[in-house]
């Protein structure tokens, strides 16, 4: 039940803030609810126990939850960081603002969605929560709804993550159909998959979802744009929690998919992203943009780590994740404080902030050191473990090369962050001092970073308890601060040196380099999205929906082509039925009246001829002994006559000469005549087809026999309408209603 409380508590709190429009005590309520979530995860979550409530059992979809080591680890990260973020947001947000309760509600909703994704035991349920996180992310990036940056950023983030999420759904559905179950606990006990078309397809789809959610190259561009969000959101969603979902999913499917031949692509994608993100971080001057690119790089690092693993399993992946959460959360929070103090995000306009925010400065230095991998921090241990892992890999030179490039770029970025914000003081204005409570959350995270970095043993042992069969090796190596003079240490020293060299090179260029145009994928994306309306405009133009005279022939030609093909395919079963001579005069009169309608130029003659056709058709129904149809047809004739009269009320006084000029061009008239004849012929043939004995279906007999026992009525026509085929009738009246709304819209436009 602990899982349910953990998910339900924030969810219910968020909903009640929204529904009851709470104004006071919102922060306290949210914070307590987040703490309750952490506590319920900590106290009472039995591992690997499944809780299931049926939802759509015949589609194999249930409300099913499970906690294993993987999801519990991520759950702790999400809920604990959530508490920190809530506390930090209290200081960050304006003291009095109407939108604050909305903010806390979104954060709690996000927390619930994240925990739901992590603990779902059903893939479809996982997907629903997964997309919910995307929706909340959209709401939070655009939280400042009046800024252009917020609008564009939220649109981009949502489109990328939601679209790739749909691709992922395709992948998990494929996986589900392969195994006839969506139950994760059952899927994870299956043997690893072999490579074939379907498994590779499922793998690729899932990988696309992961790349979108975790901002992997070339879909990384939404993350820097998502920085339009308030800083607590960036720290939580776009660094610690939501973007880690891709990592989580890769870990979740690791036991199942890591045996595939193409699994190495995960590594390629991840490590490419790692290098690209780290290099791009050097080329930007927006403080949060820099952090976003380093996040992209680090996400690539985490995903690439899984990609390097073999079928046997991996170790210490949780440690890498924990390392990133600690230092990046702290750095983002510091960035928020700095932005508050300087009122700008441009790192070139900052400096000399140490005395105004000593705790934040210390936190920033420790966290940046962790990012750079300086001994004594978790970052150092993480990098050593990664290097050791890479050196044992067959492709060691390439991998280590990539790591050296990205890690030394990160060293340079770390130097830049610390030195440019806190030491340089060319600025005239004194920096505004910031409150202690504001600086406390990043400081605590930094303290944790350094204490875990110095004494890693207890934490790694604790993480090892959360190991998952199939994902992790049975006996992980212990982590020590001092490994002796190993190759890894030498490479680490080189990385630090390279980083300092890169920093000084960029310093001489005054960081003037900007992003090359080829990497500005976000601008291209926006151009594409803005171009979409033009595509549909072009399509409308080609189909000529602006002119009914031009549009209807297009539709009819298509209809004729389709139906003629169908008829041709079914022609073997077609038999032309003969009719008795009695009908011949009737048909001739009907035909003559129809020709008069199309030939006559006077509207009242047209109208009379139309009525003649209608009445004769109802007479034909009468001859075929269909009283329901006769009644309906007669009434319809009356209604349409009245409607036409209403419509033609002022027609006689209108000038119809221009109209005639369009209609009476001989070529067009010929085309229209051919189309009319064609449609008439096709409909005639279709009726013949329906009446052909070979295709006649005895279903009519069923209705006649069962109308009394099953529907309690003698009139089979009516019982079909309201009972046997009531669902069809429901659809029809819905369509009628929609058509009425359409007519209303069209005609009311003319009134104004």
Partner 1 sequence: MEETIMKDSYILRSFYPVVFWIINLFALFVFFKGHNAPGGGFIAGIASAISLVFLYVIEGRACLNRIPNPVLLAAVGLGLAYGTALVPTLFNQAFLMHTMWHLHIPLLGDLHIGTPALFDLGVYFVVIGITVGIALWFDEASEYE
Specify the residue, 475 or 750, whose C-beta has the smaller distance to partner 1. 750
Q: How far is the CB of 663 from partner 1 (least distance, A)?
A: 19
Paired strand residues for 684: none
C-beta contacts of 113-116 below 8 A and 24+ residues apart: 114/78, 114/241, 114/242, 114/245, 115/3, 115/6, 115/7, 115/10, 115/37, 115/75, 115/78, 115/79, 116/7
Q: How far is the CB of 228 from partner 1 (least distance, A)?
A: 42
Give the tokens for residue 523: 């601008």
Q: How far is the CB of 654 from partner 1 (least distance, A)?
A: 8
- Name the residues that contact partner 1, by CB under 8 A: 627-628, 630-632, 635-636, 638-639, 642-643, 645-647, 649-650, 654, 711-715, 717-719, 721-723, 726-727, 729-730, 733-734, 736-737, 739-741, 743-744, 747-748, 750-751
Specify the residue, 409 or 719, whose C-beta has the smaller distance to partner 1. 719
Find, among 555, 715, 557, 556, the residue nearest to 629 by Cα: 715
User: How far apart are alpha carbons 323 and 310 in whole angstroms?
Assistant: 23
Asked if residues 460 and 319 have their Cβ atoms less than 8 Å apart, the reply is yes
Give the tokens for residue 578: 């003969």
Q: How far is the CB of 715 from partner 1 (least distance, A)?
A: 6
Q: How far is CA 29 from CA 26, 34, 111, in A?
A: 5, 9, 14
Specify the residue, 542 or 747, whose C-beta has the smaller distance to partner 1. 747
Q: How far is the CB of 743 from partner 1 (least distance, A)?
A: 5
Find, among 207, 278, 311, 188, the residue nearest to 249 by Cα: 207
Q: How far is the CB of 656 from partner 1 (least distance, A)?
A: 13
Q: How far is the CB of 607 from partner 1 (least distance, A)?
A: 15
Specify the residue, 402 or 716, whose C-beta has the smaller distance to partner 1. 716
Find, among 326, 296, 303, 298, the residue nearest to 81 by Cα: 326
Specify the residue, 587 or 744, whose C-beta has the smaller distance to partner 1. 744
Specify the residue, 437 or 631, whose C-beta has the smaller distance to partner 1. 631
Find, among 671, 548, 652, 551, the residue nearest to 601 by Cα: 652
Q: How far is the CB of 653 from partner 1 (least distance, A)?
A: 10
CA angle 291, 75, 251 (to 5 degrees): 75
Specify the residue, 200 or 629, whose C-beta has the smaller distance to partner 1. 629
CA dihedral (27, 29, 32, 37) positive or negative: negative
Specify the residue, 588 or 744, whose C-beta has the smaller distance to partner 1. 744
Beta-carbon count within 10 A of 444 CB = 17
Specify the residue, 370 or 618, whose C-beta has the smaller distance to partner 1. 618
Instruction: Give the CA count within 13 Å in the CB-facing half-sphere of 166.
Output: 5
Q: How far is the CB of 732 from partner 1 (least distance, A)?
A: 9
Specify the residue, 486 or 718, whose C-beta has the smaller distance to partner 1. 718
With a CB cutoff of 8 Å and minimum separation 6, the contacts of 330 are 363, 364, 366, 367, 441, 442, 443, 445, 446, 449
Specify the residue, 388 or 717, whose C-beta has the smaller distance to partner 1. 717
Q: Is 343 left (phi over 0), alpha (psi -120 to 50) or beta?
A: left
Specify the residue, 286 or 723, whose C-beta has the smaller distance to partner 1. 723
3-state secondary structure of 472: strand
Q: How far is the CB of 241 from partner 1 (least distance, A)?
A: 39
3-state secondary structure of 578: coil
Q: How far is the CB of 640 from partner 1 (least distance, A)?
A: 10
Q: How far is the CB of 53 from partner 1 (least distance, A)?
A: 17
Give 356's DSSP letter: T
Q: How far is the CB of 590 from partner 1 (least distance, A)?
A: 22
Find, among 403, 379, 405, the residue nearest to 389 by Cα: 403
Specify the residue, 59 or 518, whose C-beta has the smaller distance to partner 1. 59
With a CB cutoff of 8 Å and minimum separation 6, the contacts of 333 are 84, 88, 231, 232, 235, 360, 363, 441, 442, 445
Asked if residues 168 and 206 have their Cβ atoms less than 8 Å apart, the reply is yes
Give the tokens for residue 619: 């007479």
Specify the residue, 643 or 674, whose C-beta has the smaller distance to partner 1. 643
Q: How far is the CB of 623 from partner 1 (least distance, A)?
A: 15
With a CB cutoff of 8 Å and minimum separation 6, the contacts of 402 are 271, 272, 274, 275
DSSP one-letter string for 14-82: HHHHHHHT--SSHHHHHHHHHHHHHHHHHHS--TT--EEEEEEGGGTEEEEE---HHHHHHHHHHHHHH
User: How far apart are alpha carbons 536 and 458 in whole angstroms?
Assistant: 60
């Amino acid at each position: 039940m602990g899982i349910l409380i953990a998910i339900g508590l924030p969810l219910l709190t968020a909903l009640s803030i929204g529904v009851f429009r709470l104004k006071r005590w919102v922060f306290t309520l949210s914070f307590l609810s987040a703490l309750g979530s952490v506590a319920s995860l900590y106290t009472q979550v039995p591992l690997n126990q499944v809780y299931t409530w049926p939802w759509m059992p015949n589609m194999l979809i249930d409300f099913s939850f499970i906690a294993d080591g993987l999801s519990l680890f991520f759950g702790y990260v999400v809920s604990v960081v959530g508490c920190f973020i809530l506390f930090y947001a209290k200081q960050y947000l304006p003291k009095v603002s109407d939108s604050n309760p909305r903010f806390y509600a979104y954060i709690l909703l996000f927390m619930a969605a994240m925990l739901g994704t992590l603990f779902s035991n059903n893939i479809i349920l996982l997907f629903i929560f997964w997309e919910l996180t995307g929706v909340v992310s959209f709401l939070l990036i655009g939280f400042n709804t009046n800024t252009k940056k917020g609008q564009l950023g939220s649109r981009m983030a949502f489109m990328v993550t939601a679209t790739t999420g749909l691709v992922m759904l395709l992948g998990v559905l494929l996986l589900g159909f392969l195994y006839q179950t969506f139950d994760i606990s059952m899927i994870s006990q299956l043997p690893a998959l072999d490579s074939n078309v379907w498994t590779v397809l499922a793998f690729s789809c899932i990988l696309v979802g992961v790349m979108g959610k975790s901002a992997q190259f070339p879909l990384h561009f939404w993350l820097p744009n998502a920085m339009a969000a308030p800083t607590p959101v960036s720290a939580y969603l776009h660094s610690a929690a939501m973007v880690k979902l891709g990592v989580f999913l890769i870990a979740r499917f690791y036991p199942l998919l890591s045996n595939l031949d193409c699994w190495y692509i995960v590594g390629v994608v991840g490590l490419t992203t790692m290098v690209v993100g780290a290099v791009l971080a050097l080329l930007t001057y927006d403080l949060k943009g820099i952090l976003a690119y380093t996040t992209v790089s680090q996400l690539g690092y985490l995903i690439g780590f899984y990609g390097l693993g073999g079928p046997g399993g991996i170790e210490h992946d949780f440690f890498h994740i924990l390392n990133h959460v600690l230092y990046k959360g702290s750095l983002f929070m510091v960035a928020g404080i700095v932005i508050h103090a300087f009122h700008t995000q441009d790192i070139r306009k900052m400096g000399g902030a140490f005395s105004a925010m000593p705790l934040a400065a210390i936190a920033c230095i420790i966290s940046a050191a962790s990012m750079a991998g300086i001994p004594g921090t978790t970052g150092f241990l993480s990098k050593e473990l990664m290097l050791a892992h890479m050196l044992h890999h067959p492709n060691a030179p390439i991998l280590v090369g990539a790591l050296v490039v990205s890690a030394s770029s990160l060293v340079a970025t770390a130097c830049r962050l610390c030195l440019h914000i806190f030491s340089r003081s060319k600025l005239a204005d004194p920096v505004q001092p910031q409150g202690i409570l504001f600086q406390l959350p990043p400081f605590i995270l930094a303290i944790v970073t350094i204490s875990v970095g110095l004494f890693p043993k207890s934490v790694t042992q604790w993480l090892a308890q959360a190991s998952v069969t199939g994902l992790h090796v049975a006996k992980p190596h212990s982590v020590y601060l001092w490994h002796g003079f190993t190759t890894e240490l030498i490479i680490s020293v080189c990385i630090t040196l390279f980083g300092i060299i890169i920093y000084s090179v960029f310093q001489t260029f005054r960081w003037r380099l900007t992003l090359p145009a080829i990497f500005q994928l976000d601008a291209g994306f926006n151009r594409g999205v803005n171009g979409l309306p033009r595509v549909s405009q072009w399509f409308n133009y080609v189909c000529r929906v602006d002119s009914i005279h031009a549009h209807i022939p297009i539709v009819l030609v298509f209809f004729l082509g389709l139906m003629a093909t169908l008829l041709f395919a079914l022609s073997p079963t077609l038999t032309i039925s003969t009719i008795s001579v009695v009908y011949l005069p009737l048909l001739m009169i009907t035909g003559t009246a129809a020709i008069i309608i199309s030939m006559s130029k006077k509207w009242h003659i047209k109208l009379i001829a139309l009525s003649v056709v209608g009445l004769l058709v109802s007479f034909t129904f009468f001859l075929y002994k269909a009283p329901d149809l006769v009644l309906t047809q007669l009434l319809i004739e009356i209604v349409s006559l009245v409607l036409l009269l209403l419509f033609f009320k002022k027609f006689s006084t209108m000038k119809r000469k221009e109209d005639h000029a369009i209609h009476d061009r001989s070529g067009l008239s010929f085309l229209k005549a051919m189309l009319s004849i064609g449609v008439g012929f096709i409909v005639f043939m279709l009726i013949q087809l329906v009446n052909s004995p070979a295709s006649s279906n005895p279903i009519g007999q069923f209705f006649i026999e069962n109308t009394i026992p099953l529907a309690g009525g003698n009139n089979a026509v009516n019982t079909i309408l309201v009972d046997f085929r009531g669902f069809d009738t429901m659809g029809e009246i819905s369509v009628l209603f929609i058509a009425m709304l359409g007519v209303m819209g069209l005609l009311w436009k003319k009134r104004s």
